[in-house]
């Protein structure tokens, strides 16, 4: 007798895999060991030695170098710091960095030529100040740069480290020089002599003997209250 054949029921079709959701701006996408990219390509999270750093790919610091935040003790801490890093405004001398392509192909090409993550730049004199003083100093530097003073950083440092009000003296002498520059050319030499004599007259008020009253020119500080630092015309 012929043997009956048994039919095997077909396997049900495999369920399609769910597509991975697109990463959000603050998600981290692994590029290689110790190197991650934020979902929007704005930040790199790098490991260097035992620490982690957040590198801004769009902005530089005041020295034109990479704007680096950190160090952080773990990748989790570095990721948590990214949202706040978006609101940090660099000093006026900073410039926008051209955004690097965030595609996988570009990332692989970059990795081929990549070097070990650079160590964070050394601290500046501003970084060593208390946080409140850092805010005050940076605001003063920005204000002086708007006045056209190129070496504002050095001028503010000199002002803070010395007994003389270097910033007030610089601003006063610039105002006086502008007055002379606006005079007719034939009168400018005389104008400079008069300003020099004016400085000598103001200084002489500090040397009068009692009981004669004297006079002096003082720097003003917060609330336009006079400080104890004397301003001398001409330096």
In this structure, what are the phi and psi dihedrals at residue 74, rounded to the nearest 5 degrees?
Answer: -150, 165
Find which of 35-44, 93-102, 138-147, 213-222 is predicted with most confidence, using mean pLDDT: 138-147
Asked if the bond preceding 150 is cis, omega within 30° of 0, the reply is no
Please check the confidence at residue 68 and state whether its pLDDT lies above 80: yes
pLDDT of res. 8 = 63
Q: Is 214 exposed, middle or buried, given 0-12, 13-18 or 19+ CB atoms closer than 10 A? A: exposed
Q: What is the pLDDT of residues 2-57, one digit of tens each?
A: 555 566 667 677 666 677 778 888 888 888 888 888 888 888 888 877 788 888 88
pLDDT of res. 1 = 54
156-167: b (≥16 Cβ within 10 Å) or e: bbebeeeeebbb
Q: How many CA atoms lie within 13 A of 157 on its CB side?
A: 10
pLDDT of res. 94 = 47
Whether 75 and 59 have beta carbons less than 8 Å apart is answered as no
**Closest by alpha carbon to 44, among 96, 105, 112, 118?**
118
Q: What confidence category does residue 141 fall into, taking pLDDT thresholds of 50, 70 and 90? A: very high
Q: What is the pLDDT of residues 79-127, one digit of tens each?
A: 888 888 877 766 555 455 555 555 555 555 556 555 677 778 888 888 8
Mean pLDDT of 170-174: 89
What whole-number distance in Å separates Cα of residue 100 and Cα of residue 56? 11
pLDDT of res. 235 = 60
For the residues of the chain, what is the DSSP string, one character each? -PPPPPPPPPPPPPPPPPPPPPPPTT-EEEEETTEEEETTSSEEEEEETTEEEEEEEEEE-TTSSEEEEEEESSHHHHHHHHHHHTTPPPPTT--BPPPPP-SHHHHHHHHHH--PPPPPPPPPTTTTS-HHHHHHHHHHHHHHHHTT-TTHHHHHHHHHHSSS-HHHHHHHHHHHHHHHHTS-HHHHHHHHHHHHHHHHHHHHTTSPPTTS-----EEE-GGG-EEEEEP-TT-
pLDDT of res. 142 = 93
For residue 187, the cross-strand partners are none
Mean pLDDT of 208-228: 86
Q: What confidence category does residue 190 fall into, taking pLDDT thresholds of 50, 70 and 90? A: very high
69 vs 90, residue with greater confidence: 69
Q: What confidence category does residue 203 fall into, taking pLDDT thresholds of 50, 70 and 90? A: confident
Q: What confidence category does residue 184 fall into, taking pLDDT thresholds of 50, 70 and 90? A: very high
Mean pLDDT of 216-226: 86
Average pLDDT, the chain: 80
Mean pLDDT of 158-184: 87
Share of the chain above pLDDT 90, in %: 9
């Amino acid at each position: 007798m012929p043997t009956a054949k048994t039919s095997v029921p077909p396997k049900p079709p495999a369920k399609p895999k769910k597509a991975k959701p697109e990463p959000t701006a603050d998600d981290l996408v692994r590029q290689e060991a110790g190197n991650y990219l934020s979902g929007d390509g704005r930040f790199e999270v790098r490991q260097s030695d035992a620490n982690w750093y957040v590198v801004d790919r769009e902005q530089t610091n005041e020295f034109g170098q990479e704007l680096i935040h950190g160090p952080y003790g773990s990748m989790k801490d570095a990721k948590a710091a990214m949202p706040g890093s978006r609101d940090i405004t660099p000093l006026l001398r900073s410039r926008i960095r051209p955004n690097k392509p965030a595609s996988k192909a570009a990332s692989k090409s970059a990795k081929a030529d990549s070097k070990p993550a650079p160590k964070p730049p050394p601290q500046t004199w501003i970084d060593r100040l208390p946080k409140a003083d850092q805010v005050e100093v940076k605001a003063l530097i920005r204000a002086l740069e708007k006045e056209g003073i190129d070496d504002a950083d050095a001028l503010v440092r000199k002002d803070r480290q010395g007994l003389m009000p270097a910033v007030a003296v610089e601003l006063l002498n610039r105002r006086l020089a502008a007055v002379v520059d606006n005079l007719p050319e034939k009168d400018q030499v005389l104008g400079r002599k008069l300003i020099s004599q004016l400085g000598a007259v103001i200084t002489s008020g500090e040397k009068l003997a009692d009981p004669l009253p004297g006079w002096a020119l003082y720097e003003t500080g917060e609330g336009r209250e006079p400080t104890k630092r004397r301003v001398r015309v001409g330096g």
